[in-house]
Amino acid sequence: MAKTNLKEINRNIYDIKNKDEYEFKIKKGLTPEIIEEIAKQKNDPEWMKEFRLKALEVYNKLELPTWGPDISELNMDEIATYVKPKTKINDSWEDVPEDIKNTFDKLGIPEAEKKSLAGVGAQYDSEVVYHSMREDLKKQGVIYTDMETAVREYPELVKKHFMKCVPVTDHKFVALHGAVWSGGSFVYVPKNVKVDIPLQSYFRLNSPESGQFEHTLIIVDEGASLHFIEGCSAPKYNKVNLHAGCVELYVKENAYLRYSTIENWSKNMLNLNTKKAIVEKNAQIDWVTGSFGSKISMLYPMSILNGEGAKTEYTGISFAGKGQNLDTGFKVIHNNKNTSSVVNAKSISKNGGKCTYRSLVRINENAQNSKSSVSCESLMLDNISISDTIPVNDIRTDEVEFSHEAKIGKISDKAIFYLMSRGISEEDAKAMIVRGFAYPISKELPVEYAVEMNQLINLELEGSIG
Amino acid sequence: METLKLNQTPVRTSRNFNINNIKLNNVEIPEKVEEFTNLEITGQTNKIKIENNLDEYFLQYGAGDILINQAKSIANQKLKITIDSKTNKDLFLKFQLDKKNINLIDNIEILANEDTKATIYIKYYADEKIQGFHNGILKIFAKNNANINIIIVNLLNAKTNNFMSIDSAISEKAKVNYTIVDFGGKNNITNLYTNLLEKESDCTINTIYLGKEDQLIDINYIGELRGENSNINMEIQGALKDNAKKHFKGTIDFKKGSKKAKGNENEFCMLLSDTAKSLALPMLLCSEEDVEGNHSSAAGKVGEKQLFYIMSRGFEQKEAMKLMVKAKFNTIIESIKNEELKNEINDKIDTILD
């Protein structure tokens, strides 16, 4: 049967390179002096400067992971960890410098803001250049701002939560993040406030041989709800760029948070991101993730179900093309009674790309009557690609219902035959099957983002019979 | 005592998940062993050649280098079993550890030549009072069209440490069917690697395990599919009571060239107490497009509805539990054709679950 010719992602929009112009770029490398200079440039309070320096000590003590993709090409002596763009933070797109605004225009951010978002944050290199939120949400007490402003204006709230969910000792790149973090978003949704329309932060890395280390901290207070979307992209350069962001989510009693990510970093990016949520009684966190870009990704969002009746769902898709090694998955810790988790992970490998689904489900001794259901499916589109599934299931009590299923294979010949027998061409049949494969994820996204995802997957199958 | 790091997975994952290997601190590996005299060989001994001179062979994985080296250098039982024709009668090897035979280190090679057929039972027992040591390696070569059934029965006591490294190389259209009954051993560590080398090679692994008290069961099965239309099926059913702990690592690895190969893996662990622990890593690795791979893994307690139903028919809870475990194990136990052994296994389940 003819090969399915699935187009590589059209990266024209994402590959727009602006001139590497900045107000300040820290010298490459990682030393206490460099960390102090970042703290000075960012006008950090003393506690934050001390925090950064301690994180650097932890970074120097921790080893690189002994598992997963080979990241030995990463040389921190060749990475500039802080690049300050030539603008301050703005609340009007008109005030954003032309070249930066043009980039976000082409990415469709201001347009999306008008049509379907309640607030937008846009980061360019190491700093947020635009932040805005609807007035009615401000009146209800919702805070949506950049992290630096939060550190200054809400010090107690930030101190109480900053890197408590993800401690710097978690792994080497979290420690690195703690030392050099810059930018990102802070969201606080007060008790019982429902934010019906999503907020979105978009992270753009333009500067070559640099890193982006944004910090996202979201607190959804009791009975409140929020949908938060993050997007990320960068143009491609010859040398590696690094993304080591950190996302900390606190979902309080009876609260709900949906965290959606469309990740489309360039194919020279090492994406070593960390995301974790602490979920309290009867609260719920849902993760929706599309991973398309980067050269190497190691990304495993984690839900810690601390409260009785806490719930989580993870819906994710990875698409690895030529030269990509996407090692992604999900971790959940059931830490209380009646908690539940549902995982639905998919991957597509093509043109020599490698997708790995790596996961952990741990149901602790005190998590009686908990349920967990995991399903992962991998689609191989040729025989030069690789697809691995590496799930760990750690069950420490008997009062549980746990199940895990995984499938690996190519597009079913039978399914193609069935569709063709109904008068559909082979090409269309294959396209339909691949779209159907991705549908459980795209249906979870707001329609504009589902369209973006479909563009990213670019499911148009070309006439490639023979 | 040196910490033993054993049973490494073919691919590592995060160290925090505690499954890349098993570390044992309380096990002494004997440097010298006495002769082992309590081996009984019965059954079809005239059509199967048994000698003590082994070929120099290689094990791809094994439970650990220290154990492999020990078995290769100081084994106190060496057996090479050659099968040259089809035989419908079975061969039984029964190793019994006792006061005079406290350490068993066996090195067994089975060579099933082309177009042969045989069933071989390898059984391990230990007297209740002894604290024994067993380290075994088993290499199987199944040549073209050979069809070999291997039944390994571990009914060692709960004080004896048990280590087993198994490796099979399966040629064109050959079949190796393993049935493994894994009930004994204080630390019970098994490594089984099977290499489906050529087209239409086939391997089935059916395992039942049962853990009680502080038993640690660490199972590491690795199937590599290389031949076109090759096939592997792993079915693992287990139950844990008291503080027993089980690690199951099962890997199906579709190598390049294994077109139209199929691999299925199903693992289910019944938790019979709230302090028993089940850790599982069912891996699927795939470098070939035109294959079908599936795995499923589940854990939980005995279904309350079924338990209630059985108890409403006049059974006590313990008896009802035994029935449920036996029902789960039944398909695998029934695949054993030897009635005497089947009864023995069922009796052992009763004893362990009492």
Q: Do B11 and A395 touch (CB under 8 A)?
A: no
Check residue A455 and give its pLDDT. Answer: 62
Q: Do B272 and A388 touch (CB under 8 A)?
A: no
- Residue B308 maps to a domain: no
Residue of chain A whose alpha carbon sits nearest to that of B257: A383
B303 at interface of A, judged by CB pairs closer than 8 A: no
Residue A129 has pLDDT above 90, yes or no: no
Residues B2-21: tens digit of each pLDDT: 899 999 999 999 999 999 99
Nearest 10 degrees: CA dihedral of A36, A40, A42, A43? 130
Quote the mean pLDDT of chain A.
88
CA distance A55 to A62: 11
Q: Which of the two residues, A327 and A457, has the higher pLDDT score? A: A327
Judging by beta carbons within 10 Å of its beta carbon (0-12, 13-18, 19+), is residue A54 exposed, middle or buried? middle
Check residue B36 and give its pLDDT. Answer: 96
- Residue B344 maps to a domain: no
pLDDT bin (cut points 50, 70, 90) of residue A4 is very low
Q: Do A402 and B288 touch (CB under 8 A)?
A: no
Residue B89 has pLDDT above 70, yes or no: yes
Going through A159-255 in order, the beta strands assigned E by DSSP cover 185-189, 199-204, 211-212, 215-220, 225-233, 241-243, 246-251
Percent of chain A with pLDDT over 70: 92
B223 at interface of A, judged by CB pairs closer than 8 A: no
CA distance A95 to B65: 67
Say if strands B292-300 and A400-409 run parallel, antiparallel, or are unpaired.
antiparallel
Residue A288 CB partners (closer than 8 Å, separation 6+)? A258, A259, A260, A261, A315, A316, A441, A444, A445
How large is the greatest C-alpha to C-alpha distance in chain B, in angstroms?
Answer: 59
Check residue B121 and give its pLDDT. Answer: 97
Residues A72-106: tens digit of each pLDDT: 999 999 988 998 888 888 888 888 888 888 888 87
Residue A267 CB partners (closer than 8 Å, separation 6+)? A236, A293, A294, A295, A323, A324
Mean pLDDT of A182-190: 96
Q: Which of the two residues, B118 and A17, has the higher pLDDT score? A: B118
Interface test mutation site (partner B, options A302, A333, A383, max chain B beta carbons within 10 A): A383
- In the chain, the amino acid numbered A191 is K
Residue A183 has pLDDT above 90, yes or no: yes
- Residue B120 maps to a domain: yes
The Cα-based distances of A426 to A5, A88, A409, A410, B292 in angstroms read 12, 54, 18, 15, 21
Residues A27-85: tens digit of each pLDDT: 888 999 999 999 999 999 999 999 999 999 999 999 999 999 999 999 999 988 998 88
Residues A262-274: tens digit of each pLDDT: 888 888 899 999 9
pLDDT bin (cut points 50, 70, 90) of residue A447 is low
On chain B, the residues whose CB falls within 8 A of the CB of A1 are none
Cβ(A123)–Cβ(A211) below 8 Å: no
Q: Which of the two residues, B48 and A324, has the higher pLDDT score? A: A324
Residue A242 has pLDDT above 70, yes or no: yes
CA distance B296 to A407: 9
Number of domains in chain B: 1
CA distance A252 to A191: 9
Residue of chain B whose alpha carbon sits nearest to that of A408: B293
Interface test mutation site (partner B, options A371, A408, A430, max chain B beta carbons within 10 A): A408
Check residue A132 and give its pLDDT. Answer: 87
Residues A194-222: tens digit of each pLDDT: 999 999 998 888 888 888 999 999 999 99
Name the minimum distance, in Å, from the CA of B224 to any CA of chain A.
14
The ipTM assigned to this model is: 0.91
Check residue A383 and give its pLDDT. Answer: 87
B11 at interface of A, judged by CB pairs closer than 8 A: yes
B269 at interface of A, judged by CB pairs closer than 8 A: yes
Check residue B255 and give its pLDDT. Answer: 97
Mean pLDDT of A222-246: 89
Mean pLDDT of A408-417: 87
- Residue B59 maps to a domain: yes
Nearest 10 degrees: CA dihedral of A183, A184, A190, A194? 150
Residue A6 has pLDDT above 70, yes or no: no
Domain assignment of residue B207, given as a range = 4-302
- Residue B39 maps to a domain: yes
Name the minimum distance, in Å, from the CA of B245 to any CA of chain A.
9
Q: Which of A114-118, A221-225, A300-304, A389-393 has the lowest mean pLDDT?
A: A114-118
Check residue A176 and give its pLDDT. Answer: 97
Q: By a Cβ cutoff of 8 Å, what residues of chain A touch chain B?
A: 65-68, 358, 360, 365, 368, 378, 380-383, 385-410
Mean pLDDT of B173-192: 97
Q: Do B291 and A410 touch (CB under 8 A)?
A: yes
Check residue A424 and give its pLDDT. Answer: 92
The residue count of chain A comes to: 466
Cβ(B299)–Cβ(B329) below 8 Å: no
CA distance B160 to B156: 7
Cβ(A315)–Cβ(A441) below 8 Å: yes
Residues B283-337: tens digit of each pLDDT: 999 999 999 999 999 998 887 888 888 899 888 988 999 999 999 999 999 999 9
CA distance A29 to A52: 15
Residues B191-228: tens digit of each pLDDT: 999 999 999 999 999 999 999 999 999 999 999 999 99
- Residue B206 maps to a domain: yes
Nearest to B353 by CA among B212, B162, B147: B212
On chain A, the residues whose CB falls within 8 A of the CB of B14 are 65, 67, 358, 360
pLDDT bin (cut points 50, 70, 90) of residue A454 is low
Percent of chain B with pLDDT over 70: 99
Residue B1 has pLDDT above 80, yes or no: no
Nearest to A50 by CA among A128, A159, A174, A154: A159
Nearest to B296 among A67, A388, A405 (CB): A405
Q: Which of A111-115, A266-270, B235-239 has the lowest mean pLDDT?
A: A111-115
Give the residue ranges of DSSP H helices in A117-232: 135-139, 147-153, 155-161, 172-180
B300 at interface of A, judged by CB pairs closer than 8 A: yes
On chain A, the residues whose CB falls within 8 A of the CB of B18 are 394
Residues B161-172: tens digit of each pLDDT: 999 999 999 999
Residue of chain A whose alpha carbon sits nearest to that of B279: A394
pLDDT bin (cut points 50, 70, 90) of residue A136 is very high
Q: Do B299 and A402 touch (CB under 8 A)?
A: yes
Residue of chain A whose alpha carbon sits nearest to that of B290: A410
- Residue B219 maps to a domain: yes
Q: Do A358 and B11 touch (CB under 8 A)?
A: no
- In the chain, the amino acid numbered B66 is I
- Residue B311 maps to a domain: no
Name the minimum distance, in Å, from the CA of A442 to any CA of chain B.
24
Check residue A419 and give its pLDDT. Answer: 92
Q: Which of the two residues, B300 and B230, has the higher pLDDT score? A: B230
CA distance B326 to A371: 25
Residue A160 has pLDDT above 70, yes or no: yes
Check residue A459 and give its pLDDT. Answer: 38
SS3 A196: coil
On chain B, the residues whose CB falls within 8 A of the CB of A400 are 271, 299-301
Classify A438 in phi/psi space as left (phi over 0), alpha (psi -120 to 50) or beta. alpha
